[in-house]
Amino acid sequence: MSAPESIPLIELRGLTKTYGAGEGAFQALKGIDLTILPGEFVAIIGPSGSGKSTLMNVLGCLDVPTTGTYHYQGIAVEALDNDQRSLLRRYALGFVFQGFNLLARTSALDNVELPLLYRGLPRKERRAKALAALTSVGLPAKLRSTPGELSGGQQQRVAIARAIVTEPSTLFADEPTGNLDSVTTRDVMTLLTRLNVDRGLTVLVVTHNDEVAACANRTVLIKDGLIESDVSRA
């Protein structure tokens, strides 16, 4: 699923998210207007409690806004039911998390195959696509290794391979280098940059790390549930 470059991939208008009700209510997002074009590499930054993770969860269809609109490739996401949002995640979105979220007793190849299994692809096709994805992240020799036999950086590469094996339009990465040392962080960010440049993959990264944010073409600063700044770099 892809969008022409002239059409916004993501468009938010007046987006809010409130948790709880009454005196215990907390408004995590207070009216977000944001447009992201196909092929952008965007870093979402901000202090703890700023709302950046909430924004990522809404963008990734893991949560729903309280008010406002969210259009993904022209689709009104806020109007979708749970099953429809699940289909959008399955066919258009890829996710990478700080904790890798790999199945511990399962090989790298089988971990990467998992999203394709949910799609119902034949085994031979799943294997071929998973191997291609592992090769693209530099791990063709580790396909039989379990997560416990891999370094943190290698585990995150497997997680990235799993996220891109379905050929998503957008890759969401939530603190993808949070558990990695500085050298491995640079390796992972080099990989994400290459995917963005070579494949035209839209990448959105939530991060506390200035070095990670510097890899993006655009930095959106969230503070107290609002966008405080939005800076693009040539």
CA–CA gap between residue 128 and residue 124 (Å, rounded): 6
Looking at the domain assignment, is residue 131 inside a domain?
yes
| pLDDT score of 206 more than 90 | yes
Strand partners of residue 69? 13
The letter for the amino acid at 181 is D
Domain count, the chain: 1
Percentage of the chain exceeding pLDDT 70: 97
Give the pLDDT band (50/70/90) at residue 6.
low
pLDDT value of position 5: 55
| Residue 220 and residue 43 in contact, taking contact as beta carbons nearer than 8 Å | yes
Q: Give the mean pLDDT of 131-160.
A: 95
pLDDT in tens, 8-54: 999 999 999 999 998 889 999 999 999 999 999 999 999 989 999 99
Looking at the domain assignment, is residue 74 inside a domain?
no
CA–CA gap between residue 123 and residue 113 (Å, rounded): 9
pLDDT in tens, 57-87: 999 999 999 999 999 999 999 999 999 999 9
DSSP 215: T
Looking at the domain assignment, is residue 211 inside a domain?
yes
pLDDT value of position 7: 83
Angle at 7 between CA 4 and CA 10, to 5 degrees: 110
198: tokens are: 């070579």
Looking at the domain assignment, is residue 169 inside a domain?
yes
CATH at residue 165: 3.40.50.300
Looking at the domain assignment, is residue 67 inside a domain?
no
Q: Which domain holds residue 135?
A: 39-61+89-221+228-232
Looking at the domain assignment, is residue 123 inside a domain?
yes
Mean pLDDT of the chain: 93
Percentage of the chain exceeding pLDDT 90: 88
Give the pLDDT band (50/70/90) at residue 219.
very high
| pLDDT score of 1 more than 50 | no
Looking at the domain assignment, is residue 44 inside a domain?
yes
Looking at the domain assignment, is residue 18 inside a domain?
no
CA–CA gap between residue 213 and residue 11 (Å, rounded): 21
